[in-house]
A and B are shown apart, each in its own frame.
Chain A
Amino acid sequence: MRRNVLPGLRLSLGVTLFYVGLIVVLPLAALVFKAASLGPEDYWRIISSSRALASYRVTVLSALGATVFNLFFGLALAWVLTRYRFPGWRIVDAMVDLPFALPTAVAGIALTALFTTNGWFGSILADLGIKVAYTPLGIMIAMCFTSLPFIVRTVQPVLEDLDPALEEAAQSLGGSDWEIFRKVILPLLTPALLAGVSLSFARSLGEFGAIIFIAGNQPMSTEITALLVFIRLEEYDYQAAAAIASVLLIAAFVMLALTNWMQSRALRYTVKG
């Protein structure tokens, strides 16, 4: 290790470790400690109860649906924003961040107002026999909204920086648009797409505010896991809350690890050897 040339390591690292320890690590450790104090049998019984299982199902399936939708729509949006210029593209570009900037509770009541059976969209969809609010479809739409920027904002810079010469080289070799997209552009976007997908999926798994208004919150059908944690708390069943929250925490860590692993794997060809 080389000698530090610059001053301030002790102070800045001290502040950082203290803050991270107090604000991030301590609470999460307390949660894990609480969940662990249950003992394996009780823990397993709580996290595998039929209500909990149903909540995992609706959460994971809705998150998957929302992520798949955002994969295609987010890629299309990023493509349109980097490749095409049309009146108002800057406004559209700025609007992509709205789901990040708009508080989730606000998004939740707004989406609910749109999709209830007497709302702007809900009334039209009701005529077609589609019910959105208070169904898993509503959960999915809320997740689509809150996680949309992840994929757009991870893909967009990569698409912008893509060397046009790569495309030109493929064109000069006779590739069709579709072949060039599939064989040259898409593989180069894959790491960014995967990163965006895992961020988007992780966010959807944990989302709370935007969903509870539109979800209906019926146990066994439209109750998401985050809400189940909240309900257990309100019932003063702290151990059950800790156990189910720990499942969400583990899911978050798995997603975090997966993101890191996928990125390093997808980038293997840039490693010099």
Chain B
Amino acid sequence: MKIRLENVVKTFETFRAVRDVSLTIESGELVALLGPSGSGKTTILRMVAGLEYADGGHIYFGDQDATDIPVRDRGVGFVFQHYALFPHMTVAENIAFGMKVSKVKREKVAIEARVVELLRLVRLEGLGDRFPAQISGGQRQRVALARALSVDPKVLLLDEPFGALDANVRHDLRRWLREIHRELGITTIFVTHDQEEALDLADRVVILKDGHIIQQGTAEEVCRNPQSAFVMKFLGDANVLAAEVRDGKAYASGAAIDVSGMADGKAELYARPADLDWSAQGPGIPASITRVLDRPDGRRVLATAETGEQLEFDVEPERALKAGDGGFVTLRRAKVFALG
């Protein structure tokens, strides 16, 4: 099912949660809505589900205008942030609920068979008789998914699906959700504030800020070519240096980088810790090392430039550096964004 949002607007009281968002999601795609809190990502998801009505604009499911179709007729599967499992029903009863209340009447045997099938799909065979309070968080998450899938939804929507879980459970479930998606091929949208999760999992990442789409594309596109300082900062650690653009070159704290085509003026230079390196001789940004943090996969160096700016960068584990060393920080690559 292809989903299209056209100029969608949503306002709560006086707070404009979503402003004029247009977005197309292809059939079978797995899309992440990524943004900090207050960016409107959950509101967009809830509007696609019909749990919230748009104040303006349209939402199409295929060719059908779904803007005003109530949630119960919209045919979406929704996985809630805290799962919203019915606490008084067993796992199996939770999964069967949607089929029992459906307008399409199903045989009791057929429902039971489907529950067994879904339990197998989410790898919870044998836990059908437990109550939600009696299983782990990760298991609850999978029950919520099975319940959402039970009604054969046209679209699967997940609100912060891994938000409430431990880091290692989160990792496993992420891989597993990807597998399920490949198996079922169902159009899927999920909301997250965790950029790593979005980049790992999604075919396409939609980055939101203040109710607007800031940038969208594959993980490669948004990582390699962030179009704004916000996206650059939001996707990962970045060093920021004040810069000045003159004649197609950006100058910052003694380093220079080619930025042909950019207008002259004040700018900011962004570089990931891996984009910087250290050398005893120039050219580069004169700096002195303040601390070295050792990590399993390398060393993170904290340095202060002569201009007073703080810099962080990674070096190989073998490099013998220590606090107090003086030298130069060199730029492998960087992004420059005009100020204002």
A and B touch in the complex (CB under 8 A): yes
Name A residues whose Cβ lies closer than 8 Å to a Cβ of B: 163, 165-166, 168-176, 179-180, 183-184, 187-188, 269-273
Contact partner of A272 (CB less than 8 A), chosen from B72, B76, B88, B133, is B133
User: Does B86 sit within 8 A of A, measured CB to CB?
Assistant: yes
Across-interface contacts of A184 in B (CB, < 8 A): 86
Contact partner of B80 (CB less than 8 A), chosen from A168, A180, A188, is A168
A269 to B50, CA, bound (A): 30
The answer to whether A172 touches B77, judged by C-beta atoms less than 8 angstroms apart, is: yes
Known interface pairs A163-B84, A175-B98; 12 further A-B residue pairs with C-beta atoms within 8 A, sorted by A's residue number: A165-B80, A168-B51, A168-B80, A169-B80, A170-B86, A172-B51, A173-B97, A173-B151, A174-B73, A174-B102, A174-B151, A269-B131
User: Does B115 sit within 8 A of A, measured CB to CB?
Assistant: no
User: Does B37 sit within 8 A of A, measured CB to CB?
Assistant: no
Across-interface contacts of B133 in A (CB, < 8 A): 269-273
The answer to whether B86 touches A171, judged by C-beta atoms less than 8 angstroms apart, is: no
The answer to whether B82 touches A165, judged by C-beta atoms less than 8 angstroms apart, is: yes
Across-interface contacts of A180 in B (CB, < 8 A): 101
The answer to whether A269 touches B87, judged by C-beta atoms less than 8 angstroms apart, is: yes
The verdict on A168 contacting B101 (CB below 8 Å), with A163-B84, A269-B88 known, is no
Across-interface contacts of B279 in A (CB, < 8 A): none
- Nearest CB of B to A264, in Å: 15
User: Does B317 sit within 8 A of A, measured CB to CB?
Assistant: no
A172 to B74, CA, bound (A): 8
B66-105 interface mask toward A, CB cutoff 8 Å, 1 = contact, 0 = none?
A: 0000111110111011101111110000000110111100
Contact residues of B between 142 and 156, Cβ < 8 Å to A: 147-148, 150-151
The answer to whether A175 touches B84, judged by C-beta atoms less than 8 angstroms apart, is: no
Across-interface contacts of B148 in A (CB, < 8 A): 172-173
The answer to whether A188 touches B73, judged by C-beta atoms less than 8 angstroms apart, is: no
Across-interface contacts of A169 in B (CB, < 8 A): 78, 80, 84-86, 147
The answer to whether B103 touches A168, judged by C-beta atoms less than 8 angstroms apart, is: no
A195 to B64, CA, bound (A): 48
User: Does B134 sit within 8 A of A, measured CB to CB?
Assistant: yes
Contact partner of B103 (CB less than 8 A), chosen from A171, A174, A183, is A174
A173 to B51, CA, bound (A): 12
Contact partner of B134 (CB less than 8 A), chosen from A168, A170, A174, A272, is A272
- List 19 contacting pairs A-B, 8 Å CB cutoff, sorted by A: A163-B84, A168-B71, A168-B84, A169-B85, A169-B86, A171-B51, A172-B51, A172-B74, A172-B76, A172-B77, A173-B98, A173-B148, A174-B73, A176-B72, A183-B101, A187-B88, A269-B88, A269-B131, A272-B133
Across-interface contacts of B103 in A (CB, < 8 A): 174
Across-interface contacts of B71 in A (CB, < 8 A): 168, 171-172
The verdict on A172 contacting B131 (CB below 8 Å), with A165-B80, A183-B97 known, is no
A171 to B77, CA, bound (A): 10
A180 to B151, CA, bound (A): 16
Contact partner of B72 (CB less than 8 A), chosen from A172, A183, A187, A188, is A172
The answer to whether A173 touches B88, judged by C-beta atoms less than 8 angstroms apart, is: no
Residue of A nearest to B97 (CB): A173
The answer to whether A175 touches B80, judged by C-beta atoms less than 8 angstroms apart, is: no
Across-interface contacts of B102 in A (CB, < 8 A): 173-174
- Nearest CB of B to A195, in Å: 16
- Nearest CB of B to A175, in Å: 4
The answer to whether A273 touches B134, judged by C-beta atoms less than 8 angstroms apart, is: yes
Task: Rank and list the top 3 A-B pairs by shortest CB-CB distance, nearest first.
Answer: A173-B98, A165-B84, A175-B101
A169 to B157, CA, bound (A): 12
User: Does B329 sit within 8 A of A, measured CB to CB?
Assistant: no
Residue of A nearest to B49 (CB): A172
Across-interface contacts of A165 in B (CB, < 8 A): 80-82, 84
